[in-house]
Amino acid sequence: MSFFKQMDNKSENEKSGSSNPATEKVKCLIIGSGPAGYTAAIYAARANLNPVLYEGLQPGGQLTTTTEVENFPGYPQGVTGPVMMEDLKAQALRFGADIRFGIATSVDFSGHPHKVVIDDEKTIESSVVIIATGATAKYLGLESEEKFKGSGVSACATCDGFFYRGKDVAVVGGGDTAAEEACYLAGLCKKVYLIIRRDEMRASKAMQERVKNTQNIEVLFEHAPKEITGDNMGVTGAILTNKKTGADVQITIDGFFVAIGHHPNSDIFQNYIETDPNGYIKTIPGSSKTNVKGVFACGDVQDPHYRQAITAAGSGCMAALDAERYLGEIG
């Protein structure tokens, strides 16, 4: 089947040349283009739901910012994040998904059909909406951090930790994510510095205990990263400020992991969709259903725990199946 099938998959509104081009009616709208969104598109397209997918601000999602992905089943030699996302997109296109540039800027989920405004201009009316907008890792905002992203600076230990086997690394953050990432890396690396800005950790007591009981984690309380150092091969160290004394401390490391939290991209849904206190969309356990009928959520926007490409893809599949079932019920 040709990739140009995408061209044929015009919505009813486009085909009929509606008098109101600012509004378009579709059956299934998917917002977001990471592994969750593309997988939802593959399943929805194969179920004849004629999905329209808007790619959002970062087509391909967070994975396009990583280098090698070695833990996604089906790629025995590994694959780069951007190539994997192109593969997923090509697969969705092959089944006729209508994939478009555009950002959802506001929504109205007060009635049926659901309304989603794209780029502040055009309104899509859809019987079902699948939210797959992902989450954005927070970074410190250092210039050197930006410079070494992908060559020593990472926001995902499970994705990139493997490349630092037997080496020394640092993790920044004092929450559960940082504690988990430090413990995970401690199993792979020679030494892990855990850099915490306060004199205590925010992480749960259980995670704090795990950190304390892990021999090769050195916790540096009241330290803040000032600069990441490196050469054209990548990161070689970091300069930290000891907040108590004001002195600079130099550490030698090959990897610098930022684990200071994620921001789920759920802001535009807040008026309608229930979230937890951190903004993650709540779904009914064992499903992708949100509190609004016909609106489903998948991927990192509803997952503070796993945040893996494969779990996102799995939940994208769930969302498409839930959407298909719902459409069958409403007729």
Q: Is 315 in the site for ligand NDP (CB under 6 A)?
A: no
Q: Is 260 in the site for ligand NDP (CB under 6 A)?
A: yes
Residue 250 and residue 239 in contact, taking contact as beta carbons nearer than 8 Å: yes
Strand segments, DSSP code E, in the chain are 23-31, 52-54, 68-69, 79-80, 98-100, 104-108, 114-118, 122-131, 135-137, 153-154, 168-172, 191-195, 217-220, 223-231, 234-242, 248-252, 255-258, 262-264, 295-297
Q: Is 175 in the site for ligand NDP (CB under 6 A)?
A: yes
Q: Is 160 in the site for ligand NDP (CB under 6 A)?
A: no
User: For the chain, how long is the longest CA-to-CA vector?
Assistant: 71
Integer angstrom CA distances of residue 3 from 48, 54, 130: 16, 17, 23
Which CB, 10 or 243, lies closer to ligand NDP? 243
Q: Is 314 in the site for ligand NDP (CB under 6 A)?
A: no
Report the 10 Å Cβ neighbour count for 309. Answer: 28
Q: Is 202 in the site for ligand NDP (CB under 6 A)?
A: yes
Of positions 154, 177, 290, 302, contacts ligand NDP by CB under 6 A: 177
Q: Is 234 in the site for ligand NDP (CB under 6 A)?
A: no
Of positions 304, 310, 326, 327, contacts ligand NDP by CB under 6 A: 304
**28, 87, 98, 160: which one is catalytic?**
160
Of positions 172, 211, 312, 318, contacts ligand NDP by CB under 6 A: 172
SS3 at position 24: strand
Which CB, 83 or 220, lies closer to ligand NDP? 220
Q: Interface with ligand NDP by CB under 6 A: which range of 103-111, 112-120, 159-167, 258-266?
A: 258-266
Whether 156 sits among the annotated catalytic residues: the reply is: yes
SS3 at position 112: coil
SS3 at position 114: strand
Q: Is 34 in the site for ligand NDP (CB under 6 A)?
A: no
Residues within the interface to ligand NDP (CB under 6 A): 140, 172-178, 180, 197-198, 202, 260-262, 278, 304-305
